[in-house]
Chains A and B, each alone.
Chain A
């Protein structure tokens, strides 16, 4: 069995995400991770090796907001980058009504 080949899928997946993130630096991104804190919304500031550097505007944990966070691309389960082509990521803090 060629173990090198087996690794290829993951390597290629991460490589593609890194590439995609690099080409979208400066844009707003929405990320879900399996582990805490689960949710980030912010500006994709940079990509350093396989770490996405985020200016986090919103998380569901308020104490983590308005800070720079480094997210390992391997831990990203779901993401959406606001490119102007599709839906806008909602401005949660300002759209909140009452409550």
Chain B
């Protein structure tokens, strides 16, 4: 059927909370039928939020054709670009790309978009008429929305009235034979302009400096700053400190932020979108878990999920609202990045246990809006005087902090009469209103305290004098006396265990002030947990909404209880009362729920244990394994040995990326691993510098391992890579693709399950440049022979007795074996590669890197240097079954490095230090198979030297044992001076028997980003390789440094300067050594909506990939370099399976988290032009409005309908 909507883009004042904070220049899409109504309401309510002012959400059913008549009432051209949809790119793209005609609407004009909702799901839409990232742009001001496509034959009603609704973020969705469910749209967005009620920029009332920028959802946010102002002014709860009551409705009433309402057990879907422009957020939803891919029962289970700009997911909580245990109360929903959370990026899922017909009130007298029960479920009981239902049985006092839970605190109170009527039949500490533990299950008790003690992070004495951490009570003395090294607490238990925690708060009342922080009264804290089942009212370890405050004061002990129903990954625990103040000091840990019947052993002694970051696990049914937990940390507030603060913020209390980084309370900065030769090539070598202090994960050759990957603190994305090992992306799914990299955000948890094929030292690293520079790396050490302090796994053959001494630090570079001396079976491909310096031209406007470093075939070097060939990132290909011998020769020259003095000024990293350029270089591949001792392309641990000096050559031997497709290639000899200049490329592992030919000449090629794959068993396929990279140092035509992103900002405000930008945003960016920076085009022709047009300009400098309609196309996307800001990749008008290997995986049009080490293979569904076969120019681009698209991260995939002379068609 055809659904028709008339959508208008209007300017609107967006009031984001009841404090009157507002965006005076807001913009929104609205249905024409609501346009006047919303304008009238806003005019009448200039200082309070108006419900109708919300991101536009419209709905359709799978298979529908949707016609949107779009009317533009903004003063510049705008449009609507729909993701996920099929449409004619020439007239419905909502943009003006390449040679397409303009499908934006001029001010006052209309345009008709026709799209086909081919499949159910989340169709994000936004504007591309004005791509400026500033307050003069459209996206940052709210011009985005969503089309939610339901199962066929669905209909939807308003959850309050039960009547049909045409738009809105909340709806109840019904179907003739599927269960009805609650649908909540949660649209994160960031960086929107916000003024306070006086029209000035908000000031933080504690620091008296600028408040954090807007971080919210659905045009709303509820900042801690605003709420705590009411405390300081004595309006409410004057004894509270601030952060601990930020989410407390007893103190403040409900927030303006979204409250998702339902009844216990209601099926629900949260349609999660990122409509914002810059940050990657972590969506966390208390109490609930969900499949990462709702249609794939073998997919990972999450309870925290990162999301990068212009991407989306469906969160379908397992067991419905309240989860398995049927919890009711307020489950907070928030971005887990603490500065964002405190800035106001949160809301709640309110789960009622009694019927709400509109006649009830909250404890503060505010009426509770009616909520229609879902028609196919029994309605909950009506409230009675004895059983008023949540929240009206809780003995709180409005204007004061929430009460403590009954029974929960040792020596605390019992139940009131109302509480007794609301409670389960046998209430007990930690399980009063819901009983999560079934009768008869084993109970495991842990006694845990939180303490403050100084923690030293490295051998140079970098330390956190106010470290705070969890510790088991039995270890208290040993940890405090220095007998035991502090490490994050990791407790272990089996599935089907009832866990009891006796939690004692041993922290001082005060967190003292210093260069990083102001004095804060962190007088209470709780133990908040993820993944396990619990009673949210009393056991959340938090203080949320109308729930109890389930934290404890100093000296008190709380009793919590949870049920671990099945094998879970590492569940995160942390404090929920003052995490912004002290989680970065170390207040985090994890519990791992192992398969039933497991036993946990100390890997050194074999003694049974129940905690530790490294344990050996025995199980009678599955192979035994080594279990390792790694926690990354940022905002780590460290001082050096002389007491100097390291990377302090501009003022104490600032959340502007203070401090450095850690992993398990340790770091091993590269600046201290130069040695007398000052050669960065050996920074990772234990031969030269000894082992790092960071964790060395120890095992024997062949051992199965599980790495529990978590992020303990605090705001930033990290990219975990293991060199030489790989794992199934979806651990429980044998159809899953292999991966060797994982993006993480705080509170996310991943289990990387694999085994160690050969003895040797494997590098693990959080591998963005700044993380690695500051020491976030370590080793996985696999021994070939028995060592005295590591028990063998009892179900594996005993390792042979030790025949030679273990290697030791000698201070000298090690020799390296030649891997090619051994014979191999099967085809061998040989590549002769040289690394040398050559200027790189990034576009026709003269933006260039005069100090480019490239890898190239030796045979091409002369032509490249003579300008007869243009440098491109090296792209090598081989087939499954091939042995690949890559001989690398360094031709680097010291004179051609820009900063021979060893200080690299821009792009920066935190804690800059002397690190002179290495003339050695190496080539490290991802995902394929090799012996790390000889062929990992890096000199790591006690492995041999695998870098080459000037004029030297060495050969790596790699085996293509699996059709992994795209793999990154990069240098590991000098991460500061090489990679940003282009020392990277890609390796593509193709199917057996594949030949690669040039798409224009049809001649065989040895490299290149654009080839045709010819295979006797497969159709001919066009393969386009995109190397997405950032951190580039460019000079302009006048040889002046381009300080991107700032220099590339369109309509930049006068106050924009490089100081406003995080270190990890610094540098230029693009694809394949090219960047089509829009600012260059804008200077030539200042018309915003025409900046992508090839009719107005030429084609962009970035690759233009050509094909014919319905040609099979595979895009190989690699991100070898290098900064920590993650990018989203989006290709207009096309979709692919999230996992190319798994036909059950979700289909989408974006790739999130493109950050150092990320790779993806995108097999375009329906081929070029998608299922409808529409020809035209399709833009590929970053989803980050701030700051990628302006800075040149875009290009074109051109789909021809008619035969072109220059482009031979694919073989039929």
**A interface, CB within 8 angstroms of B:** 39, 60-63, 90, 92-93, 95-99
B496 near A99: Cβ-Cβ < 8 Å: no
**CB within 8 Å for A96 and B494 given contacts A62-B441, A90-B620:** yes
CA distance A63 to B608 in the complex (A): 28
Instruction: Kindly specify which of B61-69, B589-597, B933-941 makes contact with the partner chain.
Output: B589-597
1/0 contact string of B439-466 vs chain A (CB within 8 Å): 0011010000000000000000000000
CA distance A99 to B438 in the complex (A): 18
CA distance A12 to B949 in the complex (A): 67
Quote the shortest CB–CB distance from B533 to chain A (angstroms).
Answer: 13
**CB within 8 Å for A92 and B599 given contacts A98-B610, A99-B492, A99-B493:** no
**B interface, CB within 8 angstroms of A:** 438, 441-442, 444, 492-497, 566-567, 594-600, 608, 610, 620-621
**CB within 8 Å for A99 and B599 given contacts A62-B496, A90-B620:** yes
Q: Which 6 A-B pairs have the closest CB atoms?
A: A62-B496, A99-B494, A92-B597, A90-B620, A97-B599, A96-B597
CA distance A97 to B618 in the complex (A): 11
- Across-interface contacts of A39 in B (CB, < 8 A): 621
CA distance A99 to B494 in the complex (A): 6
Interface centre among B566, B567, B594, B596 (most CB of A within 10 A): B596
> Which residue of A has the minimal Cβ distance to B441?
A62
18 more contacts with CB within 8 A, not counting A90-B620, A95-B597, are A60-B596, A60-B621, A62-B441, A62-B495, A62-B496, A63-B438, A92-B597, A92-B621, A93-B597, A95-B620, A96-B599, A97-B599, A98-B608, A99-B492, A99-B493, A99-B494, A99-B594, A99-B598
B608 near A97: Cβ-Cβ < 8 Å: yes
- Across-interface contacts of A97 in B (CB, < 8 A): 599, 608
CA distance A63 to B438 in the complex (A): 9
CA distance A56 to B442 in the complex (A): 19
> Which residue of A has the minimal Cβ distance to B567?
A60
- Across-interface contacts of B496 in A (CB, < 8 A): 62
Give 6 A-B contacts (CB < 8 Å), ordered by A residue: A62-B441, A62-B496, A96-B597, A97-B599, A98-B600, A99-B444
CA distance A96 to B495 in the complex (A): 12
- Across-interface contacts of A63 in B (CB, < 8 A): 438
Quote the shortest CB–CB distance from A92 to chain B (angstroms).
Answer: 5
B596 near A62: Cβ-Cβ < 8 Å: yes
A99 near B600: Cβ-Cβ < 8 Å: yes
CA distance A3 to B596 in the complex (A): 45
A98 near B599: Cβ-Cβ < 8 Å: yes
B610 near A99: Cβ-Cβ < 8 Å: yes
CA distance A76 to B150 in the complex (A): 38
- Across-interface contacts of B444 in A (CB, < 8 A): 99
> Which residue of A has the minimal Cβ distance to B594?
A99
CA distance A92 to B620 in the complex (A): 8
CA distance A40 to B352 in the complex (A): 39
CA distance A60 to B620 in the complex (A): 12
Q: Which residue in B442, B596, B610 is a CB contact (below 8 Å) of A92? A: B596
- Across-interface contacts of A95 in B (CB, < 8 A): 597, 620
- Across-interface contacts of B438 in A (CB, < 8 A): 62-63
> Which residue of B has the minimal Cβ distance to A89?
B620
- Across-interface contacts of A99 in B (CB, < 8 A): 444, 492-494, 497, 594, 598-600, 610
- Across-interface contacts of B599 in A (CB, < 8 A): 96-99
CA distance A95 to B442 in the complex (A): 13
CA distance A15 to B1002 in the complex (A): 58
Quote the shortest CB–CB distance from A57 to chain B (angstroms).
Answer: 13
B566 near A61: Cβ-Cβ < 8 Å: yes
Quote the shortest CB–CB distance from A4 to chain B (angstroms).
Answer: 33
- Across-interface contacts of B598 in A (CB, < 8 A): 99
**CB within 8 Å for A60 and B595 given contacts A39-B621, A90-B620:** yes
> Which residue of B has the minimal Cβ distance to A96?
B597
Quote the shortest CB–CB distance from A32 to chain B (angstroms).
Answer: 10
CA distance A66 to B620 in the complex (A): 20
- Across-interface contacts of B495 in A (CB, < 8 A): 60, 62
Quote the shortest CB–CB distance from B428 to chain A (angstroms).
Answer: 20
> Which residue of A has the minimal Cβ distance to B620?
A90
> Which residue of B has the minimal Cβ distance to A60?
B596
- Across-interface contacts of B493 in A (CB, < 8 A): 99
Quote the shortest CB–CB distance from A98 to chain B (angstroms).
Answer: 5
- Across-interface contacts of B442 in A (CB, < 8 A): 96
> Which residue of B has the minimal Cβ distance to A66?
B440
- Across-interface contacts of B608 in A (CB, < 8 A): 97-98
Quote the shortest CB–CB distance from A15 to chain B (angstroms).
Answer: 29
- Across-interface contacts of B492 in A (CB, < 8 A): 99
CA distance A92 to B622 in the complex (A): 13
CA distance A92 to B442 in the complex (A): 14
CA distance A61 to B324 in the complex (A): 15
CA distance A97 to B620 in the complex (A): 12
Quote the shortest CB–CB distance from A60 to chain B (angstroms).
Answer: 6
> Which residue of B has the minimal Cβ distance to A91?
B620
CA distance A90 to B566 in the complex (A): 21
CA distance A60 to B157 in the complex (A): 41
> Which residue of A has the minimal Cβ distance to B496?
A62
- Across-interface contacts of A90 in B (CB, < 8 A): 620
CA distance A61 to B598 in the complex (A): 14
- Across-interface contacts of B567 in A (CB, < 8 A): 60
Quote the shortest CB–CB distance from B798 to chain A (angstroms).
Answer: 21
- Across-interface contacts of A60 in B (CB, < 8 A): 495, 567, 595-596, 621
CA distance A95 to B599 in the complex (A): 10
- Across-interface contacts of B620 in A (CB, < 8 A): 90, 92, 95
> Which residue of B has the minimal Cβ distance to A98?
B608
CA distance A39 to B598 in the complex (A): 16
CA distance A96 to B496 in the complex (A): 12
> Which residue of B has the minimal Cβ distance to A99?
B494
> Which residue of B has the minimal Cβ distance to A32?
B621
CA distance A97 to B492 in the complex (A): 13
